[in-house]
Every structure is written in C-alpha cells, then in structure tokens.
Amino acid sequence: MLCIKKILLFTSVLFSAILFSACENKTENTPTVIEEKPIAVNVHTLKQEAYAIWVDFSGKTQAVDEVMVISRVTGELKERFFKPGDSVKKDQVLFSIDKREYQAIWDQKNANLQKDKASLNLANANVKRYKPLVDEQLAPREKLDELEATKQQLEATIKADIAALDAATLNLEYCDVKASIDGQIGKELVLLGNIVNTGTELAKIVQTDFLYVNFNPSAHEVALIKKYKSADKPKVKVRLRSNKRMGIELEGVIDFIDNVSNTSTGTVAMRAKITNDKKLLFPGTFVELKLFVSDKIPVLAVHPDQISQNQQGSMFLS
C-alpha cells in the first residue's frame, strides 16, 4: 500500500514538471505579432477644370429715380393725402394748396374771354351787314374799314384772353400737388397751415423697385472682366455688408461701364441694376457685390490643403 502511494506521488510530480516545461517552451518560442495600421496618404491631382469665376467688390446703392415734390404756386398748404412711407402712383394728389385766389382769377379770365367773344360776334355781324351796302355804294367805305379793324382787334384780344385763361387754369391745377413718378414717398417737409412759395420742397419720392449699385474697380480689373465675361451684361449678386448670415441677397446685371478711368485713382465707374421689389434695401446703403465673369475658362485646380500662407503671400506645397 505504501509502495502504491509513492508511485502515484512520483507520477504526479513528473506530470507537473512536464507541463511546466511545455508551457515555458511555448512562451519562449512563440513570437509576438504587432499589427501595423496603414498610413493614410492624401493624393491631390492637379488638372484643368472650368470653374465659375466671381469677383468681389464693395459698392453703394442709389435710387433708379428720385423726385423732389415742390409747390408751383404760392399759398397756404391746406391738406395732405398720403402717409409718410406710402407707395404712390404717378399723378396721385399729394397736397392741396388754398385754391380760392386762383379760382377767382380763373373766373375773371374766363369772363373776359366770354365778353370778348360776344363782342367779336357783334363785330362779325356788323361787317357782314355793312359789306353789301358798301358794294352797292349805299354806305361809306370808311365805316366798313372801321368795322373790320374792330373785328381784327377783338380776334387778337380773344387770343390773349385764351392764353391768360390757360395760365389761370394751370395755376388752379397746380394747387393740387401731384406725384410725377411712381415710388415711395418720405415724410412731409412742410406742415399743414404754412405758406408755401413757388419752388418750396414738400416731400421726396424715390423709385425703389429697382436700385443702382455703384462701384469702382481698377482699370486692370475692368479690362479682364471685359475680356473674359460670358455675357454682354454680366450678372451680379448683392448683399448687405453687415448681414452675411441673414440671407438677404438680391440679383441683377451690369448696365453701365464708364468710358474713361479716374486719373487720380486709376479706377473705372461701373454700375449694376438690381431687383428690389420687396424693398429690402434702401438707397445709400453700403453693400457687397459679387460679379460673375465666366464659367468657361479652364483653370488649374489646387486643393486648399496644398496652399500655405506666409508674410509674402500664398504658395503651393508640392
């Protein structure tokens, strides 16, 4: 029995030694594998492609049309028929000036005309009645000559009366001050009850459905625009300088390029006409303008990652 226990103990120890040795050999002989990740390499291919070319400028808006409403007669300003900021139409009555004096003058001129017309009718009748008598030598020739002279004088007087009545009619019409263009009217410059004279400024009307945008590129830039532009009237986009994120952007076209450059600055006056039907922009506003040149000119496209900046400017990283 003791012998069997010794044999089992020896066998267990031998098995443990063999197992330990095998594990040790396995640990020493198995190489460690390190997985390497591939290095990402960005490849930018340089090639010629046609890109839309836009050029940026700064400009200032201007009303397409603006008119100062003025009085053309003297009198008391009696009524106003608009609210400041209203849209008005051509020939719409805006102000009324006291008409009583001008109505009295018109009545007088009209009465003079009617009186002289009646006198002319009588003179025509006298000439018609005396002419046969003179032909038959029943009345003196001198009397007929006198009647014909009176008739001619009355005809000249009536012409003067008509001219005077026309002037009185104009003055009476000018008592109703009307808009001369369609547009948006500002506030009144003279309060009701004041006496206005001929030429007194009463309000201003501006046409804002369209706006001009004036800007001044260099003569060199204008030459390049003319050379490479795709259309006779290049299109433009305009937005407020302080509202880049507000989405206020209006479109239009170039409608004027000056034929001379400024000798002091070397710039050329250019102008765009933009649609402003929602009246988002006002005349006199500073704006940013993007001018479309062409999308048919092949250029060498360089990825922005390949461009570096230093104090001397931009450079290409090869």
Residue range 164-196, pLDDT digits in tens: 999 999 999 999 999 999 999 999 999 999 999
Report percent pLDDT > 90 for the chain. 59
Residue range 266-291, pLDDT digits in tens: 999 999 999 998 888 999 999 999 99
CA-to-CA distance for 79 and 99, rounded, in angstroms? 11
CA-to-CA distance for 199 and 73, rounded, in angstroms? 8
pLDDT, position 301: 67
Angle, CA of 206, 207 and 209, to the nearest 5° = 140
CA–chain centroid gap for 89, Å, is 18
CA-to-CA distance for 13 and 205, rounded, in angstroms? 114
Give the pLDDT band (50/70/90) at residue 217: very high
Residue range 35-77, pLDDT digits in tens: 667 776 666 666 777 778 899 999 999 999 999 999 999 999 9
- Dihedral of CA atoms 243, 246, 247, 252 in degrees, nearest 10, equals -30
Other CB atoms closer than 10 Å to residue 28's CB: what's the count?
Answer: 7
pLDDT, position 244: 58
Q: Is 73 exposed, middle or buried (0-12, 13-18, 19+ CB in 10 A)?
A: buried
Q: Which of 10-19, 80-89, 154-163 has the lowest mean pLDDT?
A: 10-19
Most confidently predicted of 123-132, 243-252, 272-281:
272-281
pLDDT, position 41: 64
Does the domain at residues 66-203 carry the CATH identifier 3.40.50.720? no
CA-to-CA distance for 257 and 178, rounded, in angstroms? 35
Q: Is residue 159 predicted with pLDDT exceeding 70? A: yes
Q: Is 287 exposed, middle or buried (0-12, 13-18, 19+ CB in 10 A)?
A: buried
pLDDT, position 163: 97
Q: Is residue 19 predicted with pLDDT exceeding 50? A: no
Report percent pLDDT > 70 for the chain. 77
- Which superfamily is assigned to 53-64+208-316 in CATH? Efflux pump adaptor protein, beta barrel domain (2.40.30.170)
Ranges of each domain in the chain: 53-64+208-316, 66-203
Rounded to two decimals, what is the model's pTM?
0.67
Average pLDDT over all residues of the chain: 84
Nearest to 274 by CA among 224, 226, 219, 235: 235
φ and ψ of 33, to 5 deg:
-100, 120
φ and ψ of 246, to 5 deg:
-90, -10
Residue range 225-236, pLDDT digits in tens: 999 898 899 999
Give the residue with greater pLDDT, 237 vs 247. 237
Ordered alpha helix ranges (H), 44-140:
100-135
Are 221 and 55 in contact, with CB atoms under 8 Å apart?
Answer: yes
